Amino acid sequence: MDMLESIKTELDGNGLLLEDFPEVVYPVQCLDGIANRCSGQLYKGQRTHIGWTAREIVLPTVPGSVASGAIIKVAGLTGRIRGMKYKRADGRAVRPSLVVLDDPQTDESARSLSQCATRESILAGAVLGLAGPGKKISGIMPCTVIRPGDMADNILDRQKHPEWNGERTKMLYAFPTNENLWAKYAEIRAECLRRGEGIAEATELYRQHQKAMDEGAVVAWPERYNHDEVSAVQHAMNLKLQDEAAFFAEYQNEPILEEDQEDDALRPDQLAAETNGLGRGVVPIGCNHLTMFIDVQQKLLFYVVAAWADDFTGYVVDYGSWSDQRREYFTLRDARLTLAMKVPGAGLEGSIYRGLETLIADRLGREWRRDDGAVMRIERCLIDANWGNSTDVVYQFCRQSPHAAVVMPSHGRFVGASSTPFSEYRRKRGDRVGHNWRIPNVQGRRAVRHVVFDTNYWKSFVHARLATPMGDAGCLSLFGSDPKRHRLFADHITAEYRVKTEGRGRVVDEWKQRPEKPDNHWFDCLVGCAVAASIQGAVLPGTDEKPRAPRPSIRLSELQRSRR
Protein backbone atom coordinates (compact mmCIF):
# COMPACT_ATOMS: atom_id res chain seq x y z
CA MET A 1 0.00 0.00 0.00
CA ASP A 2 2.98 2.32 0.54
CA MET A 3 4.01 1.68 -3.05
CA LEU A 4 0.47 2.42 -4.26
CA GLU A 5 0.57 5.75 -2.41
CA SER A 6 3.77 6.56 -4.29
CA ILE A 7 2.03 5.86 -7.62
CA LYS A 8 -0.91 8.03 -6.54
CA THR A 9 1.46 10.89 -5.76
CA GLU A 10 2.95 10.71 -9.25
CA LEU A 11 -0.46 10.65 -10.94
CA ASP A 12 -1.76 13.49 -8.80
CA GLY A 13 1.20 15.85 -8.90
CA ASN A 14 3.57 15.07 -11.78
CA GLY A 15 3.26 17.81 -14.40
CA LEU A 16 5.29 15.87 -16.98
CA LEU A 17 2.86 12.95 -16.78
CA LEU A 18 -0.02 15.40 -17.25
CA GLU A 19 1.58 16.72 -20.47
CA ASP A 20 2.16 13.23 -21.90
CA PHE A 21 -1.03 11.47 -20.68
CA PRO A 22 -3.75 14.09 -20.04
CA GLU A 23 -6.55 11.57 -20.62
CA VAL A 24 -5.31 9.64 -17.54
CA VAL A 25 -3.82 12.28 -15.25
CA TYR A 26 -6.32 15.16 -15.70
CA PRO A 27 -9.33 13.17 -14.34
CA VAL A 28 -7.17 12.06 -11.40
CA GLN A 29 -6.13 15.63 -10.57
CA CYS A 30 -9.75 16.76 -10.79
CA LEU A 31 -10.49 14.60 -7.74
CA ASP A 32 -8.30 16.91 -5.59
CA GLY A 33 -7.46 13.87 -3.43
CA ILE A 34 -11.13 13.35 -2.44
CA ALA A 35 -12.01 9.72 -3.15
CA ASN A 36 -15.77 10.35 -2.69
CA ARG A 37 -15.79 12.33 -5.94
CA CYS A 38 -15.00 9.17 -7.96
CA SER A 39 -18.59 7.97 -8.24
CA GLY A 40 -19.82 11.33 -9.62
CA GLN A 41 -17.08 12.10 -12.12
CA LEU A 42 -18.36 12.47 -15.71
CA TYR A 43 -16.73 12.82 -19.14
CA LYS A 44 -19.10 14.04 -21.89
CA GLY A 45 -21.99 13.03 -19.70
CA GLN A 46 -20.74 9.50 -19.04
CA ARG A 47 -19.23 8.23 -15.79
CA THR A 48 -15.49 7.64 -15.88
CA HIS A 49 -15.72 4.79 -13.29
CA ILE A 50 -12.47 6.02 -11.80
CA GLY A 51 -11.32 4.22 -8.63
CA TRP A 52 -9.08 5.60 -5.87
CA THR A 53 -8.89 3.32 -2.81
CA ALA A 54 -6.16 2.20 -0.42
CA ARG A 55 -5.55 -1.06 -2.32
CA GLU A 56 -6.29 -0.25 -5.95
CA ILE A 57 -6.41 2.44 -8.61
CA VAL A 58 -8.84 2.24 -11.53
CA LEU A 59 -7.83 4.63 -14.30
CA PRO A 60 -10.68 6.64 -15.89
CA THR A 61 -12.71 5.17 -18.73
CA VAL A 62 -12.13 7.62 -21.59
CA PRO A 63 -12.91 6.69 -25.23
CA GLY A 64 -9.73 6.46 -27.30
CA SER A 65 -7.41 6.10 -24.31
CA VAL A 66 -5.12 3.09 -24.36
CA ALA A 67 -5.17 3.09 -20.54
CA SER A 68 -8.96 3.33 -20.34
CA GLY A 69 -10.22 1.32 -17.35
CA ALA A 70 -6.81 -0.12 -16.48
CA ILE A 71 -6.50 -1.42 -12.90
CA ILE A 72 -3.50 -1.24 -10.57
CA LYS A 73 -3.75 -3.45 -7.47
CA VAL A 74 -1.22 -4.27 -4.76
CA ALA A 75 -0.75 -7.34 -2.56
CA GLY A 76 1.92 -9.04 -0.49
CA LEU A 77 3.56 -12.13 -1.97
CA THR A 78 2.55 -14.29 1.00
CA GLY A 79 -0.87 -12.66 1.29
CA ARG A 80 -4.15 -13.44 -0.44
CA ILE A 81 -3.43 -13.21 -4.17
CA ARG A 82 -5.17 -16.24 -5.68
CA GLY A 83 -8.23 -15.49 -7.77
CA MET A 84 -7.48 -11.78 -8.09
CA LYS A 85 -9.94 -10.20 -10.54
CA TYR A 86 -11.98 -7.03 -11.14
CA LYS A 87 -15.46 -6.62 -12.64
CA ARG A 88 -15.76 -3.56 -14.87
CA ALA A 89 -18.85 -1.42 -15.29
CA ASP A 90 -19.85 -3.30 -18.46
CA GLY A 91 -19.98 -6.55 -16.46
CA ARG A 92 -16.78 -7.98 -17.94
CA ALA A 93 -14.41 -9.57 -15.41
CA VAL A 94 -10.72 -8.96 -16.01
CA ARG A 95 -7.72 -10.66 -14.46
CA PRO A 96 -4.12 -9.44 -14.18
CA SER A 97 -2.06 -9.36 -17.37
CA LEU A 98 1.14 -7.92 -15.87
CA VAL A 99 2.68 -8.52 -12.45
CA VAL A 100 5.62 -6.58 -11.02
CA LEU A 101 7.32 -8.28 -8.06
CA ASP A 102 9.44 -5.71 -6.31
CA ASP A 103 12.06 -7.39 -4.05
CA PRO A 104 9.90 -10.41 -3.17
CA GLN A 105 12.15 -11.59 -0.33
CA THR A 106 13.24 -10.27 3.04
CA ASP A 107 16.54 -10.59 4.90
CA GLU A 108 14.89 -13.22 7.10
CA SER A 109 13.41 -15.30 4.26
CA ALA A 110 16.70 -15.20 2.32
CA ARG A 111 18.40 -17.03 5.20
CA SER A 112 15.86 -19.86 5.15
CA LEU A 113 15.99 -22.53 2.45
CA SER A 114 12.39 -23.52 3.13
CA GLN A 115 11.11 -19.93 2.91
CA CYS A 116 13.01 -19.40 -0.36
CA ALA A 117 11.51 -22.59 -1.77
CA THR A 118 8.03 -21.61 -0.55
CA ARG A 119 8.25 -18.23 -2.26
CA GLU A 120 9.50 -19.82 -5.48
CA SER A 121 6.51 -22.19 -5.45
CA ILE A 122 4.11 -19.27 -4.81
CA LEU A 123 5.73 -17.46 -7.71
CA ALA A 124 5.40 -20.40 -10.10
CA GLY A 125 1.86 -21.26 -9.02
CA ALA A 126 -0.28 -18.50 -7.55
CA VAL A 127 1.46 -15.48 -9.15
CA LEU A 128 2.03 -16.72 -12.69
CA GLY A 129 -1.44 -18.29 -12.65
CA LEU A 130 -3.20 -14.97 -11.98
CA ALA A 131 -4.13 -14.52 -15.66
CA GLY A 132 -6.48 -17.49 -15.53
CA PRO A 133 -6.94 -20.49 -17.85
CA GLY A 134 -5.77 -20.15 -21.43
CA LYS A 135 -4.10 -16.77 -20.92
CA LYS A 136 -0.51 -15.73 -20.36
CA ILE A 137 0.82 -13.18 -17.92
CA SER A 138 3.89 -11.00 -18.13
CA GLY A 139 6.17 -10.74 -15.12
CA ILE A 140 8.92 -8.31 -14.11
CA MET A 141 10.97 -8.79 -10.95
CA PRO A 142 13.43 -6.14 -9.78
CA CYS A 143 15.29 -8.02 -7.05
CA THR A 144 18.45 -8.00 -4.97
CA VAL A 145 20.50 -11.08 -4.14
CA ILE A 146 20.93 -11.12 -0.36
CA ARG A 147 22.65 -14.47 0.09
CA PRO A 148 24.02 -17.08 -2.31
CA GLY A 149 21.28 -19.61 -3.05
CA ASP A 150 18.39 -17.38 -1.99
CA MET A 151 15.24 -16.84 -4.06
CA ALA A 152 16.64 -13.96 -6.13
CA ASP A 153 19.87 -15.86 -6.81
CA ASN A 154 17.88 -18.87 -8.04
CA ILE A 155 15.52 -16.83 -10.23
CA LEU A 156 18.45 -15.01 -11.87
CA ASP A 157 20.10 -18.33 -12.70
CA ARG A 158 19.03 -19.12 -16.27
CA GLN A 159 19.97 -22.75 -15.81
CA LYS A 160 17.42 -23.13 -13.00
CA HIS A 161 14.76 -20.70 -14.26
CA PRO A 162 15.26 -20.02 -18.00
CA GLU A 163 11.67 -18.74 -18.27
CA TRP A 164 12.58 -15.59 -16.31
CA ASN A 165 15.44 -14.44 -18.58
CA GLY A 166 17.36 -13.24 -15.52
CA GLU A 167 19.91 -10.50 -15.94
CA ARG A 168 22.33 -9.74 -13.11
CA THR A 169 23.25 -6.06 -13.30
CA LYS A 170 26.44 -4.79 -11.69
CA MET A 171 28.04 -1.47 -10.91
CA LEU A 172 31.38 -2.77 -12.22
CA TYR A 173 31.40 -5.46 -14.87
CA ALA A 174 35.20 -5.55 -14.72
CA PHE A 175 37.54 -4.25 -12.03
CA PRO A 176 40.61 -2.05 -12.63
CA THR A 177 43.77 -4.04 -13.23
CA ASN A 178 46.34 -1.66 -11.72
CA GLU A 179 46.30 -3.05 -8.19
CA ASN A 180 49.40 -1.19 -6.99
CA LEU A 181 47.99 2.28 -7.64
CA TRP A 182 44.64 1.36 -6.10
CA ALA A 183 46.40 -0.04 -3.02
CA LYS A 184 48.22 3.28 -2.65
CA TYR A 185 44.92 5.13 -3.16
CA ALA A 186 43.25 3.02 -0.45
CA GLU A 187 46.06 3.75 1.98
CA ILE A 188 45.94 7.53 1.40
CA ARG A 189 42.13 7.55 1.54
CA ALA A 190 42.04 5.66 4.85
CA GLU A 191 44.69 7.89 6.42
CA CYS A 192 42.87 11.07 5.36
CA LEU A 193 39.57 9.80 6.71
CA ARG A 194 41.21 8.92 10.03
CA ARG A 195 42.41 12.52 10.26
CA GLY A 196 38.93 13.80 9.39
CA GLU A 197 40.10 15.52 6.19
CA GLY A 198 37.86 13.81 3.64
CA ILE A 199 39.15 12.16 0.47
CA ALA A 200 40.50 15.21 -1.37
CA GLU A 201 44.13 14.02 -1.28
CA ALA A 202 43.16 10.54 -2.54
CA THR A 203 41.01 12.11 -5.26
CA GLU A 204 43.97 14.20 -6.41
CA LEU A 205 46.08 11.06 -6.74
CA TYR A 206 43.31 9.48 -8.81
CA ARG A 207 42.99 12.60 -11.00
CA GLN A 208 46.71 12.54 -11.78
CA HIS A 209 46.72 8.81 -12.67
CA GLN A 210 43.12 8.37 -13.88
CA LYS A 211 43.99 6.73 -17.17
CA ALA A 212 46.23 4.13 -15.53
CA MET A 213 43.84 3.53 -12.64
CA ASP A 214 40.81 3.12 -14.94
CA GLU A 215 42.57 0.59 -17.12
CA GLY A 216 40.57 -2.62 -17.42
CA ALA A 217 37.49 -1.25 -15.63
CA VAL A 218 34.07 -1.59 -17.22
CA VAL A 219 31.47 0.54 -15.46
CA ALA A 220 27.70 0.23 -15.97
CA TRP A 221 26.71 3.87 -15.35
CA PRO A 222 29.49 6.34 -16.19
CA GLU A 223 27.54 9.33 -14.82
CA ARG A 224 27.06 7.86 -11.34
CA TYR A 225 29.47 9.47 -8.88
CA ASN A 226 29.40 11.99 -6.04
CA HIS A 227 30.37 15.67 -6.15
CA ASP A 228 33.73 15.04 -4.47
CA GLU A 229 34.67 12.27 -6.91
CA VAL A 230 36.01 12.33 -10.47
CA SER A 231 34.39 9.31 -12.12
CA ALA A 232 32.06 6.36 -11.66
CA VAL A 233 35.07 4.04 -11.37
CA GLN A 234 36.37 5.98 -8.37
CA HIS A 235 32.87 6.00 -6.85
CA ALA A 236 32.59 2.21 -7.20
CA MET A 237 36.02 1.60 -5.71
CA ASN A 238 35.20 3.93 -2.79
CA LEU A 239 32.10 1.86 -2.04
CA LYS A 240 34.17 -1.32 -2.21
CA LEU A 241 36.79 0.11 0.16
CA GLN A 242 34.06 1.32 2.53
CA ASP A 243 32.44 -2.12 2.97
CA GLU A 244 33.43 -4.90 0.60
CA ALA A 245 30.64 -7.29 1.67
CA ALA A 246 27.94 -4.62 1.26
CA PHE A 247 29.41 -3.58 -2.12
CA PHE A 248 29.24 -7.08 -3.57
CA ALA A 249 25.75 -7.66 -2.18
CA GLU A 250 24.03 -4.35 -2.95
CA TYR A 251 25.92 -3.13 -6.04
CA GLN A 252 27.29 -6.25 -7.71
CA ASN A 253 24.43 -8.69 -6.97
CA GLU A 254 27.08 -11.24 -6.03
CA PRO A 255 27.04 -11.37 -2.21
CA ILE A 256 29.98 -12.90 -0.42
CA LEU A 257 28.96 -15.94 1.59
CA GLU A 258 28.62 -14.86 5.20
CA GLU A 259 30.67 -16.65 7.78
CA ASP A 260 28.68 -18.09 10.63
CA GLN A 261 29.48 -17.26 14.23
CA GLU A 262 31.59 -20.39 14.55
CA ASP A 263 34.26 -21.34 12.05
CA ASP A 264 32.99 -24.89 11.50
CA ALA A 265 29.27 -24.04 11.29
CA LEU A 266 27.34 -26.08 8.76
CA ARG A 267 25.52 -24.37 5.91
CA PRO A 268 22.12 -25.72 4.82
CA ASP A 269 23.23 -26.25 1.21
CA GLN A 270 26.38 -28.04 2.38
CA LEU A 271 24.38 -30.27 4.70
CA ALA A 272 21.69 -31.08 2.11
CA ALA A 273 24.41 -32.29 -0.28
CA GLU A 274 25.69 -34.93 2.20
CA THR A 275 23.86 -37.74 0.42
CA ASN A 276 24.99 -41.37 0.16
CA GLY A 277 23.03 -42.49 -2.92
CA LEU A 278 21.01 -45.16 -1.12
CA GLY A 279 17.24 -45.35 -1.38
CA ARG A 280 14.94 -44.12 1.33
CA GLY A 281 14.48 -46.74 4.02
CA VAL A 282 17.53 -48.78 2.94
CA VAL A 283 20.00 -49.54 5.75
CA PRO A 284 23.65 -49.46 4.60
CA ILE A 285 25.82 -52.53 5.10
CA GLY A 286 27.95 -52.41 8.20
CA CYS A 287 25.19 -50.91 10.37
CA ASN A 288 24.23 -52.95 13.42
CA HIS A 289 21.90 -50.49 15.15
CA LEU A 290 18.65 -48.91 13.98
CA THR A 291 17.18 -46.19 16.16
CA MET A 292 14.25 -43.78 16.04
CA PHE A 293 13.27 -40.60 17.85
CA ILE A 294 9.87 -38.86 17.94
CA ASP A 295 9.52 -35.17 18.78
CA VAL A 296 6.03 -34.49 20.15
CA GLN A 297 4.37 -31.18 19.26
CA GLN A 298 0.80 -30.01 19.61
CA LYS A 299 0.07 -30.14 15.88
CA LEU A 300 2.47 -32.80 14.56
CA LEU A 301 4.81 -35.63 15.48
CA PHE A 302 8.25 -35.28 13.88
CA TYR A 303 10.42 -38.39 13.57
CA VAL A 304 13.81 -39.54 12.27
CA VAL A 305 15.04 -43.10 11.74
CA ALA A 306 18.84 -43.53 11.64
CA ALA A 307 21.17 -46.49 11.16
CA TRP A 308 24.51 -46.69 12.96
CA ALA A 309 27.68 -48.70 12.78
CA ASP A 310 29.46 -49.65 16.00
CA ASP A 311 31.94 -46.77 15.50
CA PHE A 312 29.07 -44.23 15.24
CA THR A 313 29.16 -43.89 11.46
CA GLY A 314 25.56 -42.88 10.88
CA TYR A 315 22.98 -42.76 8.11
CA VAL A 316 19.61 -40.99 8.11
CA VAL A 317 17.39 -43.58 6.41
CA ASP A 318 13.97 -41.95 6.93
CA TYR A 319 12.35 -38.86 8.40
CA GLY A 320 8.99 -37.13 8.25
CA SER A 321 5.98 -35.99 10.21
CA TRP A 322 2.68 -37.48 11.32
CA SER A 323 0.46 -36.65 9.80
CA ASP A 324 2.21 -36.39 6.44
CA GLN A 325 1.91 -32.85 5.06
CA ARG A 326 2.23 -34.07 1.44
CA ARG A 327 4.47 -31.18 0.46
CA GLU A 328 8.20 -30.66 0.50
CA TYR A 329 8.28 -27.38 2.41
CA PHE A 330 6.20 -26.48 5.44
CA THR A 331 6.53 -25.17 8.96
CA LEU A 332 4.83 -26.28 12.14
CA ARG A 333 2.93 -23.00 12.17
CA ASP A 334 1.34 -23.53 8.72
CA ALA A 335 0.73 -27.29 9.07
CA ARG A 336 -2.46 -28.22 7.21
CA LEU A 337 -3.05 -31.83 8.33
CA THR A 338 -2.72 -31.66 12.11
CA LEU A 339 -3.15 -34.28 14.83
CA ALA A 340 -6.54 -32.83 15.73
CA MET A 341 -7.72 -33.16 12.11
CA LYS A 342 -6.50 -36.75 11.83
CA VAL A 343 -8.26 -37.76 15.06
CA PRO A 344 -11.55 -35.79 14.99
CA GLY A 345 -13.38 -35.52 18.29
CA ALA A 346 -10.33 -36.37 20.41
CA GLY A 347 -8.70 -33.97 22.84
CA LEU A 348 -5.03 -33.04 22.85
CA GLU A 349 -3.91 -36.09 24.82
CA GLY A 350 -6.09 -38.42 22.78
CA SER A 351 -4.81 -37.13 19.43
CA ILE A 352 -1.18 -37.45 20.60
CA TYR A 353 -1.78 -40.99 21.86
CA ARG A 354 -3.46 -42.03 18.60
CA GLY A 355 -0.70 -40.42 16.55
CA LEU A 356 2.01 -42.23 18.53
CA GLU A 357 0.08 -45.48 18.22
CA THR A 358 -0.19 -45.22 14.44
CA LEU A 359 3.35 -43.99 13.85
CA ILE A 360 4.97 -46.57 16.13
CA ALA A 361 2.93 -49.43 14.64
CA ASP A 362 4.01 -48.42 11.14
CA ARG A 363 7.71 -47.86 11.80
CA LEU A 364 8.43 -50.45 14.50
CA GLY A 365 6.18 -53.05 12.94
CA ARG A 366 7.98 -53.09 9.60
CA GLU A 367 11.17 -54.79 8.47
CA TRP A 368 14.03 -52.59 7.31
CA ARG A 369 16.22 -54.10 4.61
CA ARG A 370 19.97 -53.74 4.75
CA ASP A 371 21.62 -53.43 1.35
CA ASP A 372 23.20 -56.88 1.78
CA GLY A 373 19.74 -58.41 2.14
CA ALA A 374 19.69 -58.72 5.94
CA VAL A 375 16.48 -57.80 7.77
CA MET A 376 16.64 -55.30 10.63
CA ARG A 377 14.14 -53.77 13.02
CA ILE A 378 14.26 -50.61 15.07
CA GLU A 379 15.83 -51.69 18.36
CA ARG A 380 15.39 -48.48 20.34
CA CYS A 381 12.82 -45.69 19.94
CA LEU A 382 12.94 -42.64 22.21
CA ILE A 383 9.93 -40.33 22.54
CA ASP A 384 10.29 -36.73 23.68
CA ALA A 385 8.49 -36.27 27.01
CA ASN A 386 9.74 -32.77 27.80
CA TRP A 387 6.66 -30.86 26.62
CA GLY A 388 4.55 -30.48 29.75
CA ASN A 389 1.17 -31.10 28.11
CA SER A 390 2.34 -34.39 26.62
CA THR A 391 4.51 -35.87 29.41
CA ASP A 392 1.82 -38.01 31.05
CA VAL A 393 0.41 -39.32 27.77
CA VAL A 394 3.91 -40.25 26.53
CA TYR A 395 4.58 -42.23 29.72
CA GLN A 396 1.17 -43.88 29.47
CA PHE A 397 1.77 -44.85 25.86
CA CYS A 398 5.24 -46.28 26.59
CA ARG A 399 3.79 -48.38 29.42
CA GLN A 400 0.84 -49.73 27.40
CA SER A 401 2.43 -50.06 23.94
CA PRO A 402 2.92 -53.54 22.42
CA HIS A 403 6.47 -52.31 21.74
CA ALA A 404 7.11 -51.36 25.38
CA ALA A 405 10.47 -53.14 25.32
CA VAL A 406 11.67 -50.81 22.55
CA VAL A 407 10.01 -47.44 23.22
CA MET A 408 11.18 -45.20 26.06
CA PRO A 409 10.38 -41.62 27.19
CA SER A 410 13.29 -39.22 27.00
CA HIS A 411 14.17 -35.90 28.61
CA GLY A 412 16.82 -33.58 27.23
CA ARG A 413 18.50 -31.47 29.90
CA PHE A 414 20.31 -28.18 29.38
CA VAL A 415 23.75 -28.56 30.96
CA GLY A 416 25.63 -25.28 30.78
CA ALA A 417 29.13 -24.35 31.84
CA SER A 418 27.99 -23.63 35.41
CA SER A 419 25.87 -26.80 35.66
CA THR A 420 26.98 -30.10 37.13
CA PRO A 421 28.16 -32.30 34.23
CA PHE A 422 26.74 -35.78 33.73
CA SER A 423 30.21 -37.25 34.36
CA GLU A 424 29.94 -36.09 37.99
CA TYR A 425 26.54 -37.65 38.49
CA ARG A 426 26.40 -39.75 41.63
CA ARG A 427 25.21 -43.13 40.51
CA LYS A 428 22.40 -44.64 42.55
CA ARG A 429 21.38 -48.23 42.90
CA GLY A 430 19.43 -49.40 39.86
CA ASP A 431 20.68 -46.58 37.60
CA ARG A 432 22.23 -47.18 34.21
CA VAL A 433 24.80 -44.55 33.29
CA GLY A 434 26.32 -44.00 29.86
CA HIS A 435 28.13 -41.38 27.82
CA ASN A 436 26.38 -38.14 28.89
CA TRP A 437 23.10 -39.97 29.43
CA ARG A 438 21.57 -41.96 32.23
CA ILE A 439 18.54 -44.16 32.81
CA PRO A 440 17.61 -43.56 36.44
CA ASN A 441 15.78 -45.96 38.72
CA VAL A 442 12.07 -45.10 38.82
CA GLN A 443 9.45 -44.79 41.51
CA GLY A 444 5.95 -43.37 41.81
CA ARG A 445 3.10 -43.09 39.35
CA ARG A 446 5.39 -42.80 36.30
CA ALA A 447 6.98 -46.19 36.94
CA VAL A 448 8.41 -46.33 33.43
CA ARG A 449 12.14 -46.28 32.80
CA HIS A 450 13.22 -43.20 30.89
CA VAL A 451 16.45 -41.67 29.65
CA VAL A 452 17.89 -38.26 30.54
CA PHE A 453 20.67 -36.79 28.38
CA ASP A 454 22.81 -33.67 28.02
CA THR A 455 21.34 -31.84 25.00
CA ASN A 456 24.24 -29.40 24.58
CA TYR A 457 26.79 -32.20 24.43
CA TRP A 458 24.81 -34.39 22.06
CA LYS A 459 24.00 -31.51 19.72
CA SER A 460 27.71 -30.77 19.44
CA PHE A 461 28.32 -34.49 18.92
CA VAL A 462 25.83 -34.71 16.03
CA HIS A 463 27.16 -31.46 14.56
CA ALA A 464 30.64 -32.97 14.51
CA ARG A 465 29.32 -36.13 12.82
CA LEU A 466 27.69 -34.04 10.08
CA ALA A 467 30.91 -32.05 9.59
CA THR A 468 33.02 -35.23 9.24
CA PRO A 469 33.93 -35.82 5.55
CA MET A 470 32.05 -38.57 3.76
CA GLY A 471 33.88 -41.87 3.96
CA ASP A 472 35.59 -41.19 7.27
CA ALA A 473 34.63 -43.15 10.36
CA GLY A 474 31.98 -41.35 12.39
CA CYS A 475 30.48 -39.39 9.48
CA LEU A 476 26.72 -38.88 9.14
CA SER A 477 24.96 -38.80 5.76
CA LEU A 478 21.46 -38.62 4.27
CA PHE A 479 19.66 -41.05 2.00
CA GLY A 480 19.13 -40.39 -1.72
CA SER A 481 21.15 -38.43 -4.24
CA ASP A 482 19.13 -35.23 -4.76
CA PRO A 483 20.10 -32.45 -2.31
CA LYS A 484 16.91 -30.49 -3.10
CA ARG A 485 14.69 -33.01 -1.33
CA HIS A 486 16.60 -32.41 1.93
CA ARG A 487 16.40 -28.60 1.92
CA LEU A 488 13.77 -28.42 4.66
CA PHE A 489 15.58 -31.08 6.71
CA ALA A 490 18.80 -29.08 6.39
CA ASP A 491 16.92 -25.98 7.57
CA HIS A 492 15.88 -27.83 10.74
CA ILE A 493 19.40 -29.14 11.37
CA THR A 494 20.95 -25.66 11.04
CA ALA A 495 18.19 -23.89 13.03
CA GLU A 496 20.50 -23.55 16.05
CA TYR A 497 23.94 -22.13 16.61
CA ARG A 498 26.40 -22.74 19.42
CA VAL A 499 28.04 -20.28 21.74
CA LYS A 500 31.11 -21.32 23.71
CA THR A 501 30.71 -20.41 27.38
CA GLU A 502 33.01 -20.79 30.35
CA GLY A 503 32.17 -21.41 33.98
CA ARG A 504 33.48 -23.40 36.96
CA GLY A 505 36.65 -24.13 35.02
CA ARG A 506 34.78 -25.73 32.09
CA VAL A 507 34.23 -24.58 28.51
CA VAL A 508 31.07 -25.97 26.90
CA ASP A 509 28.89 -25.34 23.85
CA GLU A 510 25.49 -23.85 24.58
CA TRP A 511 23.06 -24.19 21.67
CA LYS A 512 20.59 -21.42 20.91
CA GLN A 513 17.73 -21.06 18.42
CA ARG A 514 18.21 -18.86 15.37
CA PRO A 515 15.32 -16.35 15.32
CA GLU A 516 14.88 -16.63 11.55
CA LYS A 517 14.43 -20.42 11.74
CA PRO A 518 11.53 -21.32 14.03
CA ASP A 519 11.61 -25.11 13.44
CA ASN A 520 14.40 -27.33 14.75
CA HIS A 521 12.39 -30.52 15.35
CA TRP A 522 14.32 -32.86 13.05
CA PHE A 523 17.56 -31.65 14.66
CA ASP A 524 16.16 -32.74 18.04
CA CYS A 525 15.13 -36.05 16.47
CA LEU A 526 18.57 -36.71 15.00
CA VAL A 527 20.18 -35.92 18.36
CA GLY A 528 17.78 -38.35 20.04
CA CYS A 529 18.65 -41.06 17.51
CA ALA A 530 22.34 -40.65 18.40
CA VAL A 531 21.56 -40.97 22.11
CA ALA A 532 19.55 -44.13 21.40
CA ALA A 533 22.49 -45.56 19.43
CA SER A 534 24.78 -44.91 22.39
CA ILE A 535 22.32 -46.74 24.64
CA GLN A 536 22.44 -49.68 22.23
CA GLY A 537 26.22 -49.86 22.32
CA ALA A 538 27.56 -47.60 19.55
CA VAL A 539 30.81 -45.92 20.64
CA LEU A 540 32.87 -43.30 18.84
CA PRO A 541 36.53 -44.27 19.24
CA GLY A 542 38.16 -42.07 21.84
CA THR A 543 34.96 -41.18 23.68
CA ASP A 544 34.46 -44.40 25.64
CA GLU A 545 34.80 -43.76 29.34
CA LYS A 546 36.85 -46.11 31.51
CA PRO A 547 34.78 -47.45 34.38
CA ARG A 548 35.98 -46.30 37.76
CA ALA A 549 37.55 -48.96 39.93
CA PRO A 550 35.32 -49.73 42.92
CA ARG A 551 36.57 -48.42 46.22
CA PRO A 552 37.57 -51.16 48.67
CA SER A 553 35.29 -51.42 51.69
CA ILE A 554 36.96 -50.64 55.03
CA ARG A 555 35.56 -51.61 58.38
CA LEU A 556 35.30 -48.94 61.06
CA SER A 557 37.35 -51.11 63.50
CA GLU A 558 40.19 -51.35 60.97
CA LEU A 559 40.13 -47.59 60.46
CA GLN A 560 40.36 -47.00 64.21
CA ARG A 561 43.29 -49.45 64.58
CA SER A 562 45.16 -47.74 61.72
CA ARG A 563 44.79 -44.35 63.45
CA ARG A 564 46.31 -45.74 66.67
Q: At what angle do helices 179-194 and 200-208 cross, to 10 degrees?
A: 160
At 129 the three-state DSSP class reads coil
Of 157 and 238, which is predicted with more confidence? Answer: 238
**pLDDT reported for residue 504:** 74
Q: How far apart are the first and last CA of the chain?
A: 93
pLDDT of residue 330: 86
For residue 493, which of 453, 464, 532 has the smallest C-alpha distance? 464
The pLDDT of residue 83 is above 80: no
Percent of the chain with pLDDT over 90: 57
Q: What is the pLDDT of residue 261?
A: 43
For the chain, domains (ranges, CATH) are: 2-160 (no CATH), 172-250 (no CATH), 268-535 (3.30.420.240)
Where does the pLDDT of residue 547 fall: very low under 50, low under 70, confident under 90, or very high at 90 and above? very low
Q: Is the pLDDT of residue 493 over 90?
A: yes
469 contacts 313 by C-beta, under 8 angstroms = no
Residue-wise pLDDT tens digits, 190-200:
999 988 888 99
Q: Would you put residue 5 in left (φ > 0), alpha (ψ -120 to 50) or beta?
A: alpha
